[in-house]
Each structure stands twice: as C-alpha cells, then as structure tokens.
C-alpha cells in the first residue's frame, strides 16, 4: 500500500475533530458502548461526535459535512455503507474499528483486536490510499470495497439471499442446492483489453481486498492500495474437489492450487448472459433473457484510510 501521509499522533496543542459511526447490531458490539468508544478516542486526542446508524437517512445526514477522521465501529456492511458515501471526498480519512463477523476490510489493512485496543493503536498511525472497484452492468452502476464476481460463490449467495438475514442452516442448504446443480459456462473474459481464452469458469472473482464473504481469502496477496484489482479464476475443467479448496483456504494457500489463476488488472470485462453476480455482500440476481457486459475497473485511491503503525 502507498503511504500518503504519516505522523498522525495527536498534537499536544489541541484535539482533532472526528465522527464516530457505531453499529450497535454488529457482532461484538455488546462488549462496548458508544460512551466507551468516545472516551477511548478522546484518550488519543480526538473530540468525536457520535452518530448511530439507525437508518440510511441518518447516515446520510451524519456524513454530509463530515471532515477529518470518520471512525466506523461495525462490520463490513457498516464499513461499506460509510465508505461509499466518503469515496472521492477530500479531507476525510476513514478509520475502521472492527466489530463484525468477517471484518474483511479491517483484516486486509492489518487492523485486528478488541475495539478499545484498536482505538489505542490509532494513537500512532498513518494515512494510506484505499482503492475501490467501479462496476457498469446491465443492472446499473455499483461500487465495491471487497469483491465483485460471478460463478459458484455468487450463485450460492443468490440462493442464500443475504437480505433474508443470517442463518447457518440456510447457508448449508444454499451451498448444497447450488453445488448439486452447478454447471459452469464458458466465459470470454477480457483483462486490460486483452482477450482471455474462453473456458468454463467455476469461479470468477475480481478482488480488491484479499478476502470476501465469510473470510474467504481468495486473493492471498491482494493490496487495496496498489491501483490494481486481482482477477481470480477457477478453471472448471481442472478444478479440484471441494475439500481441496477448503483445505487451501484454511492454509491461506488458495492461489497456489493448480486450477486457480490470478492476474492483476485495472479493467476487467465479463460477458453478461443473465447470470448472478455479487457486489461485496449484495446480490444482483440472475435475469433470464438478458445480455450485455459487466465492466469492472479500479478507482485508484478513492478513499484515505487510517491504519495503526505496525498494526493494531
């Protein structure tokens, strides 16, 4: 990642303004109150204004005039909601206080630990560039922090329907139903203007962070500050068994598998024939009889993020 500025230790002459966005429904939030987080931020030299995330309108109002540091205490969904509202804005730096289940964005940045410990670590930190992915597709325009893709994972998500709430039982049912009938189609991919030989792909993920979904580290070496996206493909004709993929994910060696191909690119074009896509944890469901293309490009340096020096 590219360091754009450093030396964020609080100046002794005064406090810095900040906004705190807190998702009281995130995993781990029961162990911290907004008062705890505000006090911890005050302890490292900030004067934070606390804002809840009760609804989208409240979030819009809270961030409309936000300047300086915006700290987000929550999971990837809350981080995404805030980040998309801050994308491209000058003078705003995003600080993630991970309190969710997967915390893919925070983990990619090396920000881990209990919320109050993470805040303490922000006392000595630096600002880094963080890219986003831009999507133009038949369904409209999108932005993503983590990943966008089609194939097995997108089909499982579409079957699972994240909007229906979290359920381990439904997750197992969706996985079983999808993989039982999964029949990958040939994909004529184009990467940075260069056509890729058409082959059936079991998985196609364009990654910005190294993980998406339930901590699926599909792009081991992805760097969200390098101005490129990682294109991860599984050749359906050479694919290994499910256990091999699960074992490789557990060892963080997914990209070492023979059937997995990874390249880096600024622009990726994917033929659209109505298949399901996911954009981070949101599903763009399949639409029969529709065709076109999905164009994905990197938005380099769309965000500035605050990262503790040496990790949290």
pLDDT digits (tens, 9 = 90+) for 141-169: 999 999 999 999 999 999 888 887 777 77
CA–CA dist 199, 187 (Å, integer): 6
Q: What is the predicted pLDDT for the residue at 65?
A: 87
In this structure, are residues 28 and 100 in contact, taking their beta carbons and an 8 Å threshold?
Answer: yes
Closest CA to 217 of 245, 262, 254: 254
Closest CA to 102 of 23, 27, 21: 27
Is residue 3's pLDDT more than 50? no
Is residue 8's pLDDT more than 60? no
Q: Quote the percentage of the chain above a pLDDT of 70.
A: 92
Closest CA to 10 of 35, 47, 53, 49: 47
Mean pLDDT for the chain?
88
* Structural element, H or E, at residue 287: none
pLDDT digits (tens, 9 = 90+) for 21-79: 997 765 555 678 889 999 999 999 999 999 877 667 788 888 988 999 999 999 999 99
Is residue 9's pLDDT more than 50? no
Q: What is the predicted pLDDT for the residue at 129?
A: 97
Pairing of strands 46-52, 277-279: unpaired
pLDDT digits (tens, 9 = 90+) for 96-139: 999 988 999 999 999 999 999 999 999 999 999 999 999 999 99
Is residue 2's pLDDT more than 60? no
Model-level pTM? 0.90
Q: Quote the percentage of the chain above a pLDDT of 90.
A: 67
Closest CA to 133 of 58, 214, 207: 207
Give the residue ranges of DSSP H helices in the chain.
34-43, 56-63, 76-86, 104-109, 115-121, 152-160, 168-181, 242-250
Q: What is the predicted pLDDT for the residue at 130?
A: 98
Dihedral of the CA atoms 42, 47, 52, 58 (nearest 10)?
-170
Q: What is the predicted pLDDT for the residue at 26?
A: 58
Domains of the chain, each with CATH number or no CATH: 3-130+302-308 (3.40.50.10330), 133-301 (2.60.200.40)
pLDDT digits (tens, 9 = 90+) for 200-248: 999 999 999 999 998 999 999 999 999 999 999 999 988 888 888 889 9
In this structure, are residues 16 and 123 in contact, taking their beta carbons and an 8 Å threshold?
Answer: no
Q: What is the predicted pLDDT for the residue at 54?
A: 66
Give the residue ranges of DSSP H helices in 110-241.
115-121, 152-160, 168-181
- The dihedral built from the CA positions of residue 81, 87, 89 and 92, taken in this order, carries a sign that is positive
Q: What is the predicted pLDDT for the residue at 306?
A: 96
Q: What is the predicted pLDDT for the residue at 32?
A: 82
Dihedral of the CA atoms 142, 197, 157, 77 (nearest 10)?
-40
């Amino acid at each position: 990642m590219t360091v754009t500025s450093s030396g964020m230790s609080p100046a002794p002459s005064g406090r810095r303004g900040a906004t705190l966005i807190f998702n009281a429904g995130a995993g781990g939030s029961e162990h911290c109150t907004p008062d705890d987080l505000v006090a911890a931020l005050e302890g490292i030299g900030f004067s934070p204004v606390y804002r809840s995330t009760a609804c989208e309108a409240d979030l819009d109002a809270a961030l409309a005039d936000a300047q300086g540091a915006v700290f987000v205490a929550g999971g990837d969904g809350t981080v995404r909601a805030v980040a998309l509202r801050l994308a491209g804005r000058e003078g705003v730096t995003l600080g993630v206080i991970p309190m969710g289940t997967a915390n893919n964005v925070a983990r990619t940045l090396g920000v881990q630990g209990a919320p109050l410990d993470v805040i303490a670590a922000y006392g000595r930190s630096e600002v880094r560039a963080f890219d986003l992915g831009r999507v133009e597709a038949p369904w409209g325009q999108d932005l993503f922090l983590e990943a966008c893709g089609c194939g097995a994972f997108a089909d499982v998500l579409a079957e699972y329907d994240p909007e229906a709430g979290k359920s381990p039982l439904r997750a197992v049912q969706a996985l079983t139903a999808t993989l039982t009938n999964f029949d990958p189609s040939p994909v004529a991919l184009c990467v940075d203007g260069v056509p890729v030989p058409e082959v059936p792909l079991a998985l196609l993920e364009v990654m910005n962070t190294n993980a998406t979904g339930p901590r699926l580290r599909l792009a081991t070496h992805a760097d969200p500050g390098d101005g490129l996206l990682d294109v991860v493909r599984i050749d359906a004709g050479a694919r290994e068994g499910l256990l091999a993929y699960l074992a490789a994910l557990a060892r963080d060696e997914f990209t070492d598998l023979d059937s997995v191909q990874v390249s880096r690119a600024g622009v990726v074009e994917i033929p659209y024939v109505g298949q399901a896509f996911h954009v981070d944890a949101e599903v763009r469901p399949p639409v029969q009889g529709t065709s076109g293309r999905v164009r994905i490009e990197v938005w380099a340096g769309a965000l500035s993020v605050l990262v503790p020096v040496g990790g949290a």
